[in-house]
Amino acid sequence: MPISRRFLTVIACNTLLLFATVLTHNRVTAQSSSSGTKEFSFEDFEGNGQAKYCCSSGDLTDEVSNPNTSGSSINQSPHCGTYKRSENNQYDWLSYRTSSITDASTYTNGQSLFYMDIFTSTAPIGTEIQITLQDGTETSRGWPYGRHSRYTATTSTLNEWERLYFTFSYRPDPNILDVSITELIIQFAPNSLTSDLYYMDNLDSYVKDTTSPTMPIPTVSPTPQPIIRSKSSSEVIVIPDPPVPSDDDLRVVVRSDCPHWQQELLDWHDPSTWESGEVPLGEGEDVMIPLNSKVVVKRSIDGILGLVTIPTSSELILGEDINNQQIEINTTGMDVRGVLRAGSETCRLQSPLSITLHGMRPLDASTVPQAVTYKGIGVSGKLELHGKRYYRTWTRLARTVHPGDNKLLLQHSVNWEKGQEIVLVTTALKDSRDWHQNEVLIVESVDNDGFGGSVVKVTSGVVHTHIANMGYQAEVGLLSRSILINGAEADSEATDPDPGTCTTNRKNYGNYGTPCPNKELTGYGGHIIIYNGGLGYVEGVELYRMGQTNVLGRYPMHFHVLGDGCTGCYFRDSSIHHSFYRCISIHGTHNTLVSENVAYDVIGYCYYLEDGVEENNTISFNLSALIHFLGTAATGTAQTTSLAYQSPSLTLPADVTASGYYITNVHNNIIGNAASGGWAGFAFPVLHSPLGPHKNLNMRPSSRTALTIDGNTAHSSGWWWYHTGTFYSGGALYYDTDGTTLVYNAGRDTSRTRQPCLKDMCATGNCNGYCQPQDRAWIRMTNTKAFLSPSVGLNSWSGRMELLGYEAHDVGLSVESLESGFWIDDMLVVCRTGADWAMPPGSSATLAKGDGFFWYDTNQEHIITNSTFRNCGYRYSAFGDHYDHSPSRGCGNSVQNGCRSGSTVFGFLTHSDQFTPEIMQGTRLIHFQDCGRRFRLYNYRGDDDPTTVSGRGQNWIDVDGSVSGFKEPTIIGSGLEDAGLWWTVDDEVTHDPQGPLKFIKQNSGPFRGLGHIRFLWDDTLHNQVGNGKCGNGDGSPCPPLGYIKHFGPMFASDHGLPVTANPDIVGPVGGYGWLLKLNGGAPHTVRIELTEVLSTTPLVLGVAYPLGTSFTITAHAAYCSPSSYYTCKEIFHEVPSMSNVRESLGNAYHVDSNGMLTLRIIQSPKTYTGSPEWIMPDLNTIGKWGKGYAIGSFSRGGVTLPTMGYGPYLEIRANCPGGNDGVFCAAIPQDVSPQVCEDGYEQVAYDKCCQVGDSSVCVFPGGIEEISPTKTPAQSPTKTPTQSPTNTPTQSPT
Q: Is the pLDDT of residue 803 over 80?
A: yes
With a pLDDT cut of 90, the percent of the chain lying above it is 82
Q: Is the pLDDT of residue 637 over 80?
A: yes
- C-alpha span between 1282 and 1276 (Å, rounded): 10
CA-based nearest residue to 982, from 1071, 1063, 893: 1071
pLDDT at residue 33, as a whole number: 34
Region 392-419: what's the mean pLDDT?
Answer: 96
Q: Say if CB 167 and CB 834 are below 8 A apart.
A: no
pLDDT per residue over 662-679, tens digit each?
Answer: 999 999 999 999 999 999
- SS3 state at 1174: strand
Region 225-242: what's the mean pLDDT?
Answer: 91
Q: Is the pLDDT of residue 25 over 50?
A: no
Region 1137-1157: what's the mean pLDDT?
Answer: 97
Distance set, CA 904 to CA 390, 808, 890 (Å) = 46, 15, 9
pLDDT per residue over 149-185, tens digit each?
Answer: 999 999 988 889 999 999 888 888 888 888 889 999 9
Please state the φ and ψ torsions of residue 248, each to the nearest 5 degrees: -65, -35
pLDDT per residue over 691-707, tens digit each?
Answer: 999 999 999 999 999 99
pLDDT at residue 1277, as a whole number: 33
Please state the φ and ψ torsions of residue 749, each to the nearest 5 degrees: -110, 100
Q: Is the pLDDT of residue 629 over 60?
A: yes
pLDDT band of residue 1284 (cuts 50, 70, 90) is very low
pLDDT at residue 251, as a whole number: 63
Q: Is the pLDDT of residue 1221 over 70?
A: yes
pLDDT at residue 449, as a whole number: 63
Is the link from the previous residue into 144 a cis peptide, with omega within 30 of 0? yes
Average the pLDDT over each of 385-394, 642-651, 1257-1266 and give the range with the smallest value: 1257-1266
If DSSP states are collapsed to H, E and C, what string results for 223-268?
A: CCCCCCCHHHCCCCCCCCCCCCCCHHHHCCCCCCCCHHHCCCCEEC
Q: Is the pLDDT of residue 9 over 80?
A: no
pLDDT band of residue 110 (cuts 50, 70, 90) is confident
pLDDT at residue 604, as a whole number: 98
Q: Is the pLDDT of residue 925 over 50?
A: yes
- C-alpha span between 339 and 382 (Å, rounded): 5
pLDDT band of residue 15 (cuts 50, 70, 90) is very low
Identity of residue 617:
N
> What is the reported pTM?
0.84
Q: Is the pLDDT of residue 5 over 70?
A: no
Q: Is the pLDDT of residue 22 over 80?
A: no
pLDDT at residue 96, as a whole number: 94
pLDDT at residue 942, as a whole number: 84
pLDDT at residue 620, as a whole number: 98
With a pLDDT cut of 70, the percent of the chain lying above it is 93
Identity of residue 1033:
G
**What number of H helices and E strands is found in the chain?**
6, 88
pLDDT per residue over 50-69, tens digit each?
Answer: 999 999 999 999 889 898 87
Q: Say if CB 4 and CB 212 are below 8 A apart.
A: no
Q: Who contacts 1228 (Cβ-Cβ below 8 Å, separation ≥6)?
A: 1081, 1106
In DSSP notation, 1217-1262 reads TT-EETTEESSPPP------S-TTEEEEETTEEEETTEEEEEEEGG
Region 968-988: what's the mean pLDDT?
Answer: 97
pLDDT per residue over 473-496, tens digit each?
Answer: 999 999 999 999 999 999 999 999
pLDDT at residue 1, as a whole number: 41
pLDDT band of residue 221 (cuts 50, 70, 90) is very low
Q: Is the pLDDT of residue 21 over 80?
A: no
pLDDT at residue 213, as a whole number: 39
pLDDT band of residue 76 (cuts 50, 70, 90) is confident
pLDDT per residue over 532-587, tens digit each?
Answer: 999 999 999 999 999 999 999 999 999 999 999 999 999 999 999 999 999 999 99
